[in-house]
Amino acid sequence: MKTDSPSAARRLRWSRDDISARLARPAVMPGPRDEHIVALPANTAIRHAAVLVPLVPREDDVHVLLTQRTAHLNSHPGQISFPGGRVEGGDQDRIETALREAEEEIGLTRAQVMVLGSLPDYDIPSGFRISPVIGWVEPPFTLTLDPYEVESAFEVPLSFLLDAANHEYRRYAFNGRERAYLAMPYKGRYIWGATAGMLQRLSQQLGGEPA
C-alpha cells in the first residue's frame, strides 16, 4: 500500500498542538502489565526530582532527545536518561527544575523550550519521585554537554517509542527480590528502567495515531 498521499504523510507527524492537547487529558492509568511502576511505602522519605522530555520536530518524525550518562558517576552510571535532577530550594516548581537541569547538563536554554505539559509523577524504588516535563524544541539548536555528567546526546523517533511492539517487559533479581522493568533497545542504545517507563507513560497518554 502506498503511503505518499498528503493525508498519509500528515499522519506520520505529531503537531505541537496535538501533543499539548493529549497531555491535557486525564492521566491514563497504568495497565495490568505495568509491574515496573512501583508504589512507594507510606513511610518512604521521598526525594523530589524533575526531568525534561525534549521533543524535536524533524522532517521525517518528531524525535525524543535523550542523554547517556558518563560511566564514572555514582548514580546510574552509563545509563540513558533525560536531562534532569533533584529539586533545589530556589526552584519555583518542577518545570523550573527540569529547565534548569537541561540548561546545566546539555546547554539547552530555557528560551529554546516550549513546555507542552507534564506526565504523572514517576516513583522509583530508591525513593525518588520524578516529574516528567514535556518540552517542544524547534531546531536548529546547539547542545553543550556537561562532560562530567553527560557522555553523549542522541535522538530517537517518537514513532519508534510509541510502538508497543518495541516495549519489552523484563525481570531481574535485586537484593533477593525479583523486580520488573521495561526496555526499549534502539540501534545499540539500551533504554530501560525509569526512562523507558516514562516513555511508556508518554505513549499511553498520547494514545495512538496523531490526529
Q: Which residue has the higher pLDDT, 58 or 7?
A: 58
CA-based nearest residue to 94, from 53, 148, 47, 130 = 130
Give CA angle at 42 (39, 46), nearest 5°: 80
Give the dihedral sign, CA 200/206/207/211: negative
pLDDT score recorded for residue 83 = 97
Give 104-147 pLDDT, tens digit per residue: 999 999 999 999 999 999 999 889 999 999 999 999 999 999 99
Is the pLDDT at 180 greater than 60? The verdict is yes
- Summarize the confidence of residues 135-161 as an average pLDDT: 96
pLDDT score recorded for residue 31 = 82
Cell of 57: 520536530
- Summarize the confidence of residues 158-168 as an average pLDDT: 95
Q: Are strands 168-174 and 177-186 parallel, antiparallel or unpaired?
A: antiparallel
Q: Which residue has the higher pLDDT, 172 or 1?
A: 172
Cell of 102: 537541561
Cell of 200: 511508556
Cell of 106: 546539555
% of the chain residues with pLDDT over 90: 73
Between CA 62 and CA 149 the distance in angstroms is 26
Give 186-199 pLDDT, tens digit per residue: 999 999 999 999 99
Alpha carbon 99 to chain centroid distance?
14
Write down the domain spans for the chain.
11-206
pLDDT score recorded for residue 6 = 42
SS (H, E, C) 167-206: CEEEEEEECCEEEEEEEEEECCEEEEHHHHHHHHHHHHHH
Give the dihedral sign, CA 18/23/27/29: positive
pLDDT score recorded for residue 207 = 86
If one counts every other C-beta atom within 10 angstroms of the C-beta of residue 149, the result is 19
pLDDT score recorded for residue 3 = 40
Between CA 205 and CA 76 the distance in angstroms is 27
For residues 63-74, one letter each, b for 16 or more C-beta atoms within 10 angstroms of the residue's C-beta and e for the rest, the string is bbbbbbbbeeee
pLDDT score recorded for residue 75 = 63
Tell me the sheet residues that pair with 183. 168, 192
Give 69-93 pLDDT, tens digit per residue: 898 775 666 789 999 999 999 999 9
Q: What's domain 11-206's architecture?
A: Alpha-Beta Complex (3.90)
* Mean pLDDT taken over the chain: 89
